[in-house]
Amino acid sequence: MFGKELRVRNQLFVICIGLLILSLAISASAKPRKKSKKQKETAAQKEARIRRANAERASLLRLSIQRSDGLDGSFTANTGRSAVRASSAPSSGMVQFVGDPELAARGIAPATASAGQIIISEFRVRGPNGANDEFIELYNASGADHTVADSGAGTGYAVAASNGVARCVIPNGTVIPNKGHYLCVNSVGYSLASYPAGNGTTATGDATYTTDIPDNAGIAIFNTSIAANFTLPNRLDAVGSTSEANTLYKEGTGYPALVPFSIDYAFYRDTCGKAGSITTFGACSRDTPKDTDNNAADFVFVDTNGTSAGAGQRLGAPGPQNLSSPIQRNASVAADLLDICAAASSPPNRVRDFTSDPANNSTFGTLDVRLTFTNNTGGNVTRMRFNVVDVTTFPAPSGIADLRPRTSTAVVVTVDRPPCGSGTSNVTVQGTTLEQPPSQPNGGGFNSTLSAGTVTLATPLANGASLDSRFLLGIQQTGTFKFYLNVELLP
Ligand SMILES: [Ca+2]
Ligand SMILES: [Ca+2]
Ligand SMILES: [Ca+2]
């Protein structure tokens, strides 16, 4: 069953690259000078043009493998986005853009969620503040905005721990946007309330509770708040460890039980399709949280020190998201090389600085990756950030690069740009900021976010406009690398 799903997904992925290219081609041809040409075009000509664009883009994103600078690999916005493009998922009222290409349907009537529609996407049951430094992030995987509606006479959807006691309830009537989040936190100890979220908001709890969840205990969300109905038919999702005895509160045998260190950790659902592997290369096969109902396969453990606590060792960061947080919109943003006249592995698209800077997690210098993002949402973008969904980082084995995403500032860069070879110009490539807390003294890693600080309510990125961005990666070990991002936006 799982294997079949995977094959189907891969087929979807192949098919949908075409769709992505199609959307890019459309956006390119939307420039005024090309419009009349496009209108006269026959269907056959259009198809041929799309095929050419397809091939061109594929060659642009395929990077030459060379070891001259001790570092080679790939970087891009997550190509898994194309799989989402195909789902024709409707977008939300909360994050809806005018003329939104991701918007397919509206006016979905409130209905009680069923299993897999509202899921636990990230959580922890301990942190630097101790046993009560907890959060449970929920995600709307239903494919549409969801209005919470208790399956019985209760008050909403309950998140309960395996003792059967609800910790928080998402109240009836709450609208969780498609791909949006809802955040439950333990107000006694939660330490990430200042992690950035939306415009002027931070990752505070949408709902709070004060009763500790024991280490390695299971957690489940039910489509009711009535404790007597916390049963399998009413369960939307669950996650627990191998040491959890109550199978209602986990899926499969559970995630590997953790040694209860009070570290800045989280378990988050794989959003790339490589299960958090540092050594698996190639494009991401997905860009939404993975839920195969097998906790051990679906969740990835990260912490800000790359600690070995029993569930895999991986530098990264917790990233709690609430109702106000930006939402993954890969399908509505085109990502290109900063200068498509130059090779992806060469300046100005990729700059290697060999200056050793151990204090900034750059013992072997830095890799500076520059990309141009174009807003195709149909409306203004007022908040933009990038979620690191896949990266080679600590503890990478020999031969694989150990990269540490860092904060960067704007630089002025000379570009050629089409028509290639007919003169250069200077552009400002904006920096990106590693979002803290959580404090990331070792640099970012899996699940870290980098924000585009120039995109704000006062200075939005208009529909059709582009942002030149850079991503500065400290190098602690040279070797083959990968670096994949999801784009998160607010209108
Ligand atoms: Ca706890
Ligand atoms: Ca599930
Ligand atoms: Ca998250």
293 C-alpha to ligand 2 centroid (Å) = 4
204 C-alpha to ligand 1 centroid (Å) = 18
Provide the pLDDT for residue 3.
37
112 C-alpha to ligand 2 centroid (Å) = 16
pLDDT in tens, 113-167: 999 999 999 999 999 999 999 999 999 999 999 999 999 999 999 999 999 999 9
Q: Answer yes or no: is pLDDT of 430 > 50.
A: yes
**Is the CB of residue 295 less than 8 Å from the CB of residue 255?**
yes
Q: At which residue do the structure tokens 């003169």 appear?
A: 423
Provide the pLDDT for residue 449.
98
Residues within 5 Å of ion ligand 1, judged at the Cβ atom: 125-126, 131, 212-213
Q: Answer yes or no: is pLDDT of 92 > 50.
A: no
Which ligand sits closest to the CA of 300?
A: 3
Domains of the chain as residue ranges with CATH: 2-102+329-490 (no CATH), 105-267+319-324 (2.60.40.1260)
327 C-alpha to ligand 3 centroid (Å) = 10
Provide the pLDDT for residue 468.
98
130 C-alpha to ligand 1 centroid (Å) = 7
Torsional sign, CA 6, 9, 13, 14: positive
182 C-alpha to ligand 3 centroid (Å) = 10
Size of the chain, expressed as the number of residues it contains? 491
Band of residue 42 on the pLDDT scale cut at 50, 70, 90: low
134 C-alpha to ligand 1 centroid (Å) = 6
**Is the CB of residue 489 less than 8 Å from the CB of residue 409?**
no
313 C-alpha to ligand 1 centroid (Å) = 21
Q: At which residue do the structure tokens 């698996």 appear?
A: 280
Q: How confident is the model over 309-335, as a mean pLDDT? A: 97
Q: Token pair for residue 437?
A: 């807390």
Band of residue 431 on the pLDDT scale cut at 50, 70, 90: very high
**Is the CB of residue 435 less than 8 Å from the CB of residue 450?**
yes
SS3 percent helix, strand, coil of the chain, rounded to 5, is 15, 30, 50
Provide the pLDDT for residue 101.
65
**Is the CB of residue 101 less than 8 Å from the CB of residue 331?**
yes
Which residues are paired to 429 by β-bridges? 411
Residues within 5 Å of ion ligand 3, judged at the Cβ atom: 122, 319, 321
253 C-alpha to ligand 2 centroid (Å) = 13
User: What pTM was computed for the model?
Assistant: 0.83
Q: Answer yes or no: is pLDDT of 339 > 70.
A: yes
Provide the pLDDT for residue 123.
99
330 vs 25, 65, 142, 333, 450, CA distance in Å? 16, 26, 17, 6, 15
Q: Token pair for residue 262?
A: 């009070």
Q: Tell me what the pLDDT averaged over the chain comes to.
A: 85
356 C-alpha to ligand 3 centroid (Å) = 33
292 C-alpha to ligand 2 centroid (Å) = 6
Cis peptide, bond prior to residue 395, ω within 30 of zero: yes
**Is the CB of residue 241 less than 8 Å from the CB of residue 258?**
yes
CA distance 352 to 2: 41
249 C-alpha to ligand 2 centroid (Å) = 11
pLDDT in tens, 344-363: 999 999 999 999 999 999 99
Q: Which residue has the higher pLDDT, 70 or 270?
A: 270
**Is the CB of residue 450 less than 8 Å from the CB of residue 434?**
yes
Which ligand sits closest to the CA of 252?
A: 2
Q: How confident is the model over 398-402, as a mean pLDDT? A: 97
* Cα of 140 vs its chain's centroid, Å: 14
Which of 118, 136, 138 lies closest to 127 in space, CA to CA?
Answer: 136
Q: How confident is the model over 174-186, as a mean pLDDT? A: 98
Band of residue 102 on the pLDDT scale cut at 50, 70, 90: confident
Q: Answer yes or no: is pLDDT of 87 > 70.
A: no
Q: Answer yes or no: is pLDDT of 1 > 60.
A: no
Which ligand sits closest to the CA of 136?
A: 3
19 C-alpha to ligand 1 centroid (Å) = 45
211 C-alpha to ligand 1 centroid (Å) = 9
pLDDT in tens, 250-299: 999 999 999 999 999 999 999 999 999 999 999 999 999 999 999 999 99
Q: How many CB atoms lie within 10 A of CB 199?
A: 14
Band of residue 5 on the pLDDT scale cut at 50, 70, 90: very low
Give the whole-number percent of the chain exceeding pLDDT 90: 78
Q: Answer yes or no: is pLDDT of 88 > 80.
A: no
Give the whole-number percent of the chain exceeding pLDDT 70: 79
DSSP assignment letter at 233 = G
The region of weakest confidence among 72-86, 159-173, 259-273, 297-311 is 72-86
Band of residue 447 on the pLDDT scale cut at 50, 70, 90: very high
Which ligand sits closest to the CA of 215?
A: 1
